[in-house]
């Protein structure tokens, strides 16, 4: 698209004011957490608002005829809960200076630290032309709302990286890549002997008590199984002192509207559910999200959260598996350190300079951290070229 002067932008506080087909035309099945169905379920099923500090302020960009050509899933935030890009120290610095860090704006899928685009643009338009226009529009909206800052979290929009006045923050997750494995044993054959033995031991432990493990597409999970899973989800968050923001209605609605883009893995013992893990399924990537257990069983966490996911990827020819944020223990199980990115606009020039200096120093430390972790790859030296290197999303 050559002309951007005819574009109009507006903010909405409910995604159901946009037709699902119009929103979904801007993204694709690679990113289930960016779909209209997923984001609408969060709003409809009381996962957002005062309880959690997430208030929808989605940015829409339309042409002169009112057709949607670009959008951002954007939220006004009154805290930093559910973001996984930690800026509590920035908020504290604002407080000490007598300024308010909140509210701020974030462009993200709530409670979902999965990588993907954050500027959604229809395929028929020139993305290189529209990206800076849409970003500038978002910054204008942030300035008009007089928020302290605007943040794009876990973005894969590489066009952002050279955009000013955005600050770049480097992070690290642990992702698994499918190197055309024939089956799980083929994957194991690429690992060192020590790691193969470890994984086989963990899988034996998980199966030693006659457990039955089932992988069930979300639209085939019955109401009793959803209630059990949600109880597990809540209890896991409670155990760790966290707030379980997602309601039972959310999981059930997403399962009904997104079908096989949701996956529940259940472990049964004597026909009783003892543990569960929950995934989102994209066109080429599996996203691990939640886990819980009623009783502690050796190896069961690794089986349900990692090994079942790897097997699912191999069987369904998915290219990647993002199991969630953090977790150095994932490396020995085949998940390599992977660079992630967030981008930040800070309104106050003094704090923008201070945060830029902090990020310069943090980036050096993060590169060192990723390089060190990469030396602990579980893959044999003669496996694929970059088996020992860090990945970039």
| Residue labelled with tokens 């500090």 | 53
- Cis bond leading into 324, ω under 30°? no
Claim to verify: residue 207 and residue 168 sit in the same structural domain: no
Q: Which of 284, 318, 352 is the last residue of a domain?
A: 318
> Does residue 218 form part of some domain?
yes
Partners of 336 in the β-ladder: 175
Instruction: Quick: pLDDT tens for 252-279.
Output: 999 999 999 999 999 999 889 999 999 9
What's residue 2's pLDDT? 44
> Does residue 267 form part of some domain?
yes
Q: What is the CA radius of gyration of the chain?
A: 22
Q: In this model, does residue 309 exceed pLDDT 80?
A: yes
List all residues 6 or more positions away from 118 whose beta carbon is below 8 Å from its beta carbon. 72, 73, 107, 108, 152, 153, 154, 155, 157
Residue 158 pLDDT grade (very low, low, confident, very high; cuts 50, 70, 90)? confident
| Residue labelled with tokens 């085939």 | 220
Report the CATH number at residue 313: 3.40.630.30
Q: Which domain holds residue 312?
A: 179-318
> Does residue 298 form part of some domain?
yes
Predicted TM-score (pTM) of the model is 0.94
Rounded Cα–Cα distance for residues 309 and 88 (Å)? 32
Instruction: Quick: pLDDT tens for 81-134.
Output: 999 999 999 999 999 999 999 999 999 999 999 999 999 998 888 888 889 899
> Does residue 333 form part of some domain?
no
Claim to verify: residue 160 and residue 183 sit in the same structural domain: no
Claim to verify: residue 71 and residue 36 sit in the same structural domain: yes
Claim to verify: residue 133 and residue 240 sit in the same structural domain: no
Instruction: Quick: pLDDT tens for 351-367.
Output: 999 999 999 999 999 99
Q: pLDDT averaged over the chain?
A: 93
Q: Which of 318, 347, 365 is the last residue of a domain?
A: 318
What's residue 252's pLDDT? 98
Instruction: Quick: pLDDT tens for 56-68.
Output: 999 999 999 999 9
What is the count of structural domains for the chain? 2
């Amino acid at each position: 698209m050559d002309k951007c002067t005819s574009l109009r932008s507006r903010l909405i506080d409910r995604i159901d004011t946009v037709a699902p087909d119009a929103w979904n035309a801007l993204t694709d099945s690679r990113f289930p957490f960016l779909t209209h169905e997923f984001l609408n379920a969060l709003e409809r099923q009381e996962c957002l608002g005062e309880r959690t500090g997430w208030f929808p302020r989605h940015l829409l960009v339309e042409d002169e005829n009112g057709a949607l050509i670009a959008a951002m899933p954007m939220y006004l935030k009154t805290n930093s809960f559910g973001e996984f890009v930690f800026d509590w120290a920035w908020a504290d610095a604002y407080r000490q200076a007598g300024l308010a860090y909140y509210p701020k704006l974030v462009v993200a899928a709530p409670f979902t630290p999965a990588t993907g685009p954050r500027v959604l643009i229809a395929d028929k338009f020139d993305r290189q032309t529209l990206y800076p226009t849409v970003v500038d529009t978002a910054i204008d909206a942030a300035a008009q709302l007089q928020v302290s800052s605007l943040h794009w979290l876990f973005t894969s929009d590489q066009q952002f990286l050279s955009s000013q006045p955005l600050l770049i923050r480097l992070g690290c997750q642990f992702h698994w890549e499918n190197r055309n494995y024939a089956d799980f044993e083929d994957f194991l054959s690429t690992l060192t002997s020590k790691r193969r033995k470890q994984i086989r031991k963990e899988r034996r432990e998980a199966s030693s008590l006659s457990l039955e493990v089932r992988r069930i597409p979300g639209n085939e999970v019955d109401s009793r199984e959803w209630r059990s899973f949600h109880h597990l989800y809540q209890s896991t968050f409670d155990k760790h002192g966290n707030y379980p923001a997602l309601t039972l209605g959310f999981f059930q609605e997403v399962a009904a509207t997104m079908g096989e883009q949701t996956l529940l893995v259940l472990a049964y013992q004597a026909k009783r559910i003892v543990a569960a893990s929950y995934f989102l399924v994209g066109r080429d990537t599996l996203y691990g999200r939640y886990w819980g257990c009623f009783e502690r069983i050796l190896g069961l966490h690794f089986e349900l959260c990692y090994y079942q996911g790897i097997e699912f990827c191999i069987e369904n020819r998915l290219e990647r598996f993002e199991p969630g944020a953090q977790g150095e223990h994932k490396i020995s199980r085949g998940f390599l350190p992977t660079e992630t990115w967030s981008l930040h606009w800070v309104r106050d020039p003094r704090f923008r300079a201070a945060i830029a200096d902090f990020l310069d120093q943090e980036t050096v430390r993060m590169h060192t951290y990723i390089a060190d972790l990469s030396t602990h790859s579980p893959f044999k030296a003669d496996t694929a070229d970059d088996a020992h290197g860090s990945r970039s999303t």
